[in-house]
Amino acid sequence: MAAFWNNLDLGSLNPFGKAEGYVAVDIGSSSVKMIEAAIEKDGYRLVSVGVLPLPPTAIQNNMVADKDAVVKAIQSLLQNNGVKATRAIAAVPGRVAIIKKIQLPAQGEEELAANVEFKASEVIPEALENVNLDYQVLDYLENGAKMDVLLVAVKKDILNSYTQVIRDAGLTPAIMDVDYFAMENMYEVSYGATSEGVVALLDIGARYTSINVLKQGVSAFTGDLPVGGEAFTEALVQALQVSPEQAEAFKVTGKLEAKKNGDLEKLLKPTVDHLAAEVARTLSLYRAMADEEAIHRIYLTGGAAKTTGLSKALADRLGVSVELAEPLRGFTLSKHLDREYLAESALALAVGAGLSIRRLGDK
């Protein structure tokens, strides 16, 4: 899946400046993840990686609210990791994107561009002057007579809130993508595009869980649920009457201060079961609408993917294999990288991994 908005004027791009490398910047609701990767003849090499937390107020309503905090985090990641790249690859959350699939008669690129805009005015529930719009031809049908085309639109003010902090951090926003498609890219690199039939990728972040169903390696269904790691932490705060910091530490380590007692899995079970039920409901809706074959496997990514009891709850409810993904398995590692740190951070780096191998002109 090619990156979207490659054709927008996002800054003073210099496609011939080979010294200007690319760095992926994944701005999430609770942290910024940075990945720098090199594309080599035999695959991809991880050059540098970093994660820094953001204050809870940094991202609000799916937009950058505290610009200074995000800019500072990006600059610190670049400086701490000695990143010399000047062009950034980033993404907006899929939940803010308007994604539509249309079918058109087969046609040339010039004619297609005009017809896509006309068709978009009919199916996109926003005035086109208020959105950034891009498209991609997915497939040709009926012996090449027709084409499936994917439309993606994002409100300009949302997109600009991300590109502006990237500029303010000293980078040029060269490619802007959608996190759903970055996840698709990660899966293709790590597992092969068509090796497992229909699979679902669940990225469990701080505030949301995104769902991306892939059929033959291509997104067939996407959605978001307003449940993530913060909901698990809040459940512990309420049950144990501890601080959010103590609850977060207990959630991650399974250890609580001596004067408190708690069965972590039991305490998290109501929230875990709620998320599992919502995932099951969403996937059932997909199958009913699309009349598709059963999902073969579910891969979990995101900072909250390791939540105690979650994999089992999903597997029990859905009756399919559920496992933690390996977002970096498609990369070789530069010698200086800390393997232990990567193993600990890998699940949070899934979107960044998918972004890191994008380049201008990808098809």
pLDDT digits (tens, 9 = 90+) for 151-208: 999 999 999 999 999 999 999 999 999 999 999 999 999 988 656 688 999 999 999 9
Average confidence score pLDDT of the chain: 89
Helix (H) or strand (E) holding 332, with range, is strand 331-333
Helix, strand, coil abundance in the chain, percent, nearest 5: 40, 30, 35
pLDDT at 193: 62
What sign for the dihedral angle of Cα 126, 129, 132, 137?
Answer: positive
pLDDT band at 225 (very low <50, low <70, confident <90, very high): very high
Instruction: Determine the Cα–Cα distance for residues 132 and 164; give it in Å rounded to an integer.
Output: 15
- Edge-first strand listing for the sheet containing 43-53: 172-178, 87-92, 22-27, 31-40, 43-53, 331-333
Instruction: Write down the pLDDT at residue 216.
Output: 81
Q: Which of 187, 190, 179 is nearest to 152 (CA)?
A: 179
pLDDT band at 114 (very low <50, low <70, confident <90, very high): confident
What does the domain layout of the chain look like in residue ranges?
Answer: 225-322
pLDDT band at 133 (very low <50, low <70, confident <90, very high): very high
* Residue of 295, 300, 299 lying closest to 320 (CA atoms): 295
Q: Which pLDDT score is estimated for 162?
A: 97
What is the arithmetic mean of pLDDT over 320-332? 95
CATH superfamily of domain region 225-322: ATPase, nucleotide binding domain (3.30.420.40)
**Cβ–Cβ < 8 Å for 30, 56:** yes
